[in-house]
Chains A and B, each alone.
Chain A
Amino acid sequence: MEWRHKDLITLEGWTREELHFFLEQADYMEELMNRPIKKVPALRGKMVVNCFFENSTRTRVSFELAEKMLSADVVNWSASGSSASKGETLRDTVWTLEAMGADAVVVRHGAVGVPDYLSKKLKRASVFNAGDGTNGHPTQALLDLHSARKRLGGLDGAKMAMIGDVLHSRVARSDIQAFRKMGVTVTLSGPATLMPEDTASLGVEYVSDAHEAARGADILYFLRIQRERQDDGLIPSIDEYHRRWGATDSLVSAASPNAVVMHPGPMNRGVEISSSVADGPKSVILGQVRSGVAVRMALLYLCLGGAR
């Protein structure tokens, strides 16, 4: 397959065939990770800048490991203590990085639309969305596809229950898009106050009862609940939330016997997920983290021309 994407802003334009092809590349990358000497020279001489305007540990480290395993030169740029704190505009920052020779910019930002904006402004460099506000987190969706597919075999026809704070979750938006594209039926559950107004426009169903959503599901996906949602008045208390929508053994037992339990991390144990579930046999949460490195390697390799 001729790879036609230079950037990853959103998975919207990716076809199912491209996703399949991509996941096979990620399988190959994961094999590399198992070798005693992990580094390959695929991106030698390429310069990648990780631009993180928001704090992130796992995504930044995951991208950085992927870049280093492919032998790219890596620069980590963070907003604090940088030109951004001196009032430089975003476009001047990325133009500067491009002028210095950056081949790719990995960007995490709190505002929706930043990767779109940068891809319109940059003339040459690739842009990879590492999360933009509440809008999207496409590499998370790719790694979730990768780890779910590894455990379940195929994804076509599978059922997913996504439980938690969908309203504020970029992971939810990207995952809904990606899993639906692979033929998965997605049902949302959680407090109505933490759901988007128009769930039907996302092509998913919503049921408030978590057990009903989980019944017979092949994938149970639990989203983070931030404690500030209680302060916002959107849920009465963390305890009430945990009792109604938290991942407990009883909730998990409603799913299909072979179901996988997923969580994007970082986890709030005892809030949206209990430790017995997080560490239990159905959990693939650490597998997700491992897939994260593999899919980011595949992404950089394909989009930065390593394939040619």
Chain B
Amino acid sequence: MILLKNGRIFDGRTLASACEDVLIKDGVVVRRGSGLQEEEAEIFDMDGKIVCPGFIDLHVHFRDPGYEWREDTESGAQAAAAGGYATVVTMPNTDPAVDNPVTVEYLVARGKKAGGARVLPSGCVSRRREGKQLAELALMAQSGAVMFTDDGAPVADAKLLKTALLYSRDLDVKIMEHPEEPSLTAKAHVNEGVVSASSGMKGWPASAEVIDIQRGITLSRETDSPIHFTHVSTELGIEAIRQAKKEGLQVTCDVTPHHLSLDETCILVSRFSSAYKVNPPLRTRKDVKALWDAIADGTADAIVTDHAPYHMDEKDVPFQEAPCGIASLECSVAVVLDTWLKLGEPVTLEHLLSLFTSGPAALLPRPWRSLGVLKEGAAADITVLDLDAVKRVDVNEWKSKARLCPWNGEMLQGWPVMTLVEGKVRMNRLEDGE
């Protein structure tokens, strides 16, 4: 039994003003209230910190199977817990790709033994992510796949995407689309804008994102099926989704901590550090503002890391030769909170926290949706936040195998200090600030 004393409880929707206690038994929240007593319980004093439902990250790359030198399920799940996440959804662009129920079951089993965050795999939309033939969607859903996506790339063929939207309609598992029109982004390295102009590297135009989003929206309307767009990075992409939502379509999206906090000029300021190379690329300041507006007006449903680790030997090379990907699981919550504070709190804290909790939970299959709330009877997945904690990002302390990070060495304010997964303490830094 665990008793969390004197925390301000955020239940997934609202943040209580007074402090309360939470009692956890057998992996479940059994009571919430003030002045709770339980002799046998291990007691943790929250000292006014914010007690939230366990944070959920719908988009991580754990590189397992096939690229375990970059990350594996164990290091990834532990990194997630260390970063304040209780649940993560892994992407299927592995080798072999997660396009069959056996690989889904392998990942579920690996996740259970990892001793970190809960690992929920996603499966591919198409076999080998080739965009030619539908993967075994229903069998993968039965085995535990919680999303279908060809992430790393868009679903290559419009007809196949339409088929997948129709076919998955009764499976209660959403299609997650990586919005990118590949003919416009071939050989691109940076956003199309000041950096592509000044360096001559080929640019990723905003149109590449918008065209694919419009394709998905059109097919979602035609099939009456939900579609989720991940790591939306442009003002135009957000606007397309905003209009679709106004129309009442089942369209949702997420945004990432790096697109909320960094822009393309970081590449020039850092003199082409490959830490800033990512797909979709860092965009303009105007786009960053548009993403915060999307959070404010409910266009964005979740914040996801798109944690994309590489080995230092692969990533610490000249910019144009480096692979795309930012690894951020262990600092992303702090990056978002710190940026939110520096911007003067552009949205309410409650709303911001919902994008880590009830927002992403609502996009998961039914059995997992209660992960987004903190209430009696729910699984004891809990993330504790200390908004006053100030700490330097240090990649050498990471559980993740990645060692290159845009924020390494930076002081950030607002950190997760405790993670519980099904009532088990997976991260505890309550004492660090004392």
A residues lining the B interface (CB < 8 Å): 9, 89-91, 109, 111-114, 116-117, 120, 133-135, 167-170, 173, 196-199, 201-202
Contacts and interface: CB of A to CB of B under 8 A. Distances in A.
A112 B193 contact: no
Nearest to B313: A89
Interface stretch (B53-61, B137-145, B316-324): B316-324
Contacts of B321: 111
Contacts of B193: 197-198, 201
B197 A202 contact: yes
B278 to A, nearest CB: 15
B206 to A, nearest CB: 11
Given A112-B272, A201-B193, A168 B317 contact: no
A79 to B, nearest CB: 13
A70 to B, nearest CB: 28
B145 to A, nearest CB: 38
A176 to B, nearest CB: 9
B317 A112 contact: no
14 contacts: A9-B271, A91-B317, A111-B320, A111-B321, A112-B189, A116-B271, A117-B317, A117-B318, A133-B201, A196-B196, A197-B193, A197-B203, A201-B198, A202-B198
A109 B321 CA distance: 11
Contacts of B317: 89-91, 117
B318 A109 contact: yes
B313 A168 contact: no
B197 A133 contact: no
Contacts of B21: none
A120 B271 CA distance: 10
B197 A112 contact: no
A114 B272 CA distance: 9
B318 A196 contact: no
Nearest to A169: B200
Contact of B201 (A90, A134, A169, A202): A134
Interface string B311-331: 001001111110000000000
B199 A173 contact: yes
B194 interface: yes
Nearest to A114: B318
Nearest to B203: A197
B212 interface: no
B197 A201 contact: yes
